[in-house]
Amino acid sequence: MHHTRRVSGEHPNAYDAFAVAYSRDNENNAWNALYERPASLALVGEVAGKRVLDAGCGTGAHAAALIGRGAVVTGMDSSAGLLTIAADRLSAAVDLHLADLTEPLPFEDNTFDVVLAALVMHYLSDWAPALREFHRVLIPGGRVVVSTHHPFMDHVLAGGVDYFATYAFTEQWEKEGQTARMRFWHRPLSAMTRDLRTAGFTLDVIDEPQPDPAVRERDPVAWRSLTTTPRFLFIAATADTS
């Protein structure tokens, strides 16, 4: 059954105001369609018959791909605007929840085989609560896949002074004439891996993949950037069984 759940304490999300413009851009631009999504889905691996939580599902692009590969997908996001677009795209194929990763997840223990957190963790000041919840809702031996801002990239963009600190910075996005000020959190790679281990995960992969070769012709500027500068970091880990 398809439904949307609101978690107590929910507040308007920065994406709500320009959800449609964001969706149209995200669907086709080189950074997302030909770099982040293929890399994340490759790390998720075979999903036929598996239960997947798309944590931070946005407009449902990853969910649609996962469904196409035979997964049973549940989506959650803190933006009602993005979830509305996801609901229109996915129809009744996905159970969608309006929920925030800073709060306990509205799912029972051992519910999922895989958790995908695509480009969402850099919005959190503290990874530990979300990772503990991912571990709780995963079956023992389940897999978490994270794509996030590469810490080298966001430290440079933020003009940061101390790479080893965890700190907030803002960036103004402009899409189809609409603007939004987004807040992200930089944390060093060592903090990411430490939080994963503390939450009960064993690291499997830390990757810095290259974009799809199609980017070279479609967007030469993006190609030069993505093939020479760290942009996103991709991590896969397994929930410990003990």
Per the CB < 8 A criterion, the answer to whether 139 and 161 are in contact is no
Residue 10: inside a domain, yes or no? no
- Token readout for 207 is 């990757």
Residue 157: inside a domain, yes or no? yes
How many residues appear in the chain? 242
Residue 8: inside a domain, yes or no? no
- pLDDT mean over 108-135: 97
Backbone angles phi, psi at 115, to 5 degrees: -115, 125
Read off the amino acid at residue 196.
L
CA distance 240 to 242: 6
pTM over the 0.75 mark: yes
CATH code of the domain containing 203: 3.40.50.150
Residue 2: inside a domain, yes or no? no
Residue 4: inside a domain, yes or no? no
pLDDT above 50: residue 12: no
Q: Please tell me the total count of domains within the chain.
A: 1
CA distance 10 to 206: 32
Q: What range defines the domain where residue 130 resides?
A: 16-239
> What is the widest separation between alpha-carbon atoms in the chain?
51
pLDDT in tens, 183-231: 899 999 999 999 999 999 999 999 999 999 999 999 999 999 999 998 9
Residue 7: inside a domain, yes or no? no
Residue 119: inside a domain, yes or no? yes
